[in-house]
Amino acid sequence: MNRPKQKRRFGQDLKDRNTTIVWLHVQGFSTADICLLWGIHKETALKAIRVVAPKPKLTAHQKQQISREYKLAWRVNNQERRKANGAAYYQRNKEKQNAKNAAWRAANKELSNAFGRKSTRKILGILNATGESRSGTCPICLREGPLHCDHYHSGSLKGHVRGWICGTCNRGIGSLRDSVENLNRAITYLKGPP
Ligand SMILES: [Zn+2]
């Protein structure tokens, strides 16, 4: 294809050309059409577009934000892949990871126990003991209504679900520290002197 030889343009002339190129670009003309029209190379047209309508320069903060959003979207859209990657990483670094986990558990006993209880509830099909709602008859006060998930606070069954009772009874046995001895003494106390 014969392109008319490009003349060197200077100053205002060049500025006008660039402005027109950008105008055509904005109007939806393809770069190839613009090149044909002006008899210029593709690079020249692209350069003109870059010069007159430069890409907005992003601040470091904006770049960081875009990257963060991108990462988050990737995580959401590639959950299976993430799981597989995680499992593969664990297999590769089993010993290191186990040692790290043990160290964390030793340093964060309370939190670790809480996670353990949560996981137990998950296994038992109760995702969140305080969040799940059930209703029925309370086995202690025999009243109908919403029930709360009650669990052991100590002993070998610590964290395990004990049953579903009403909120008042749950707080009641909690106030008596889940102690059978305390409850027996409370019964004796309530009965009063014979
Ligand atoms: Zn009750």
Residue 184 CA to ligand 1 center (angstroms) comes to: 18
Helix (H), strand (E) at residue 136: strand 134-137
Residue 171 CA to ligand 1 center (angstroms) comes to: 9
Q: Give 36's contacts (C-beta < 8 A, 6+ positions apart).
A: none
Residue 147 CA to ligand 1 center (angstroms) comes to: 8
Locate 188 and state its tokens.
Answer: 């004796």
Residue 138 CA to ligand 1 center (angstroms) comes to: 5
Residue 185 CA to ligand 1 center (angstroms) comes to: 20
Query: What CATH number belongs to 110-191?
Result: 3.40.1800.10
Q: How far apart are CA 19 and CA 15, in angstroms?
A: 6
- For residue 165, the cross-strand partners are 148
Residue 75 CA to ligand 1 center (angstroms) comes to: 44
Residue 152 CA to ligand 1 center (angstroms) comes to: 17
Question: What SS3 class is residue 40?
Answer: coil
Residue 120 CA to ligand 1 center (angstroms) comes to: 24
Task: Decide if 147 contacts 164 (C-beta within 8 A).
Answer: yes
Q: Give 128's contacts (C-beta < 8 A, 6+ positions apart).
A: 118, 121
pLDDT by residue for the chain (194 residues), tens only, comes to: 566 665 555 567 777 788 888 888 888 888 888 888 878 888 888 888 777 766 678 888 988 888 999 999 999 999 999 999 999 999 999 999 999 999 999 999 988 888 887 777 666 655 444 545 688 999 999 999 988 888 877 777 766 778 899 989 999 998 999 899 999 999 999 998 77
Q: Give 147's contacts (C-beta < 8 A, 6+ positions apart).
A: 133, 134, 135, 136, 138, 164, 165, 166
Q: Give 176's contacts (C-beta < 8 A, 6+ positions apart).
A: 182, 183, 186
Give residue limits of the domains in the chain.
11-52, 60-109, 110-191
Residue 145 is given by DSSP the state E
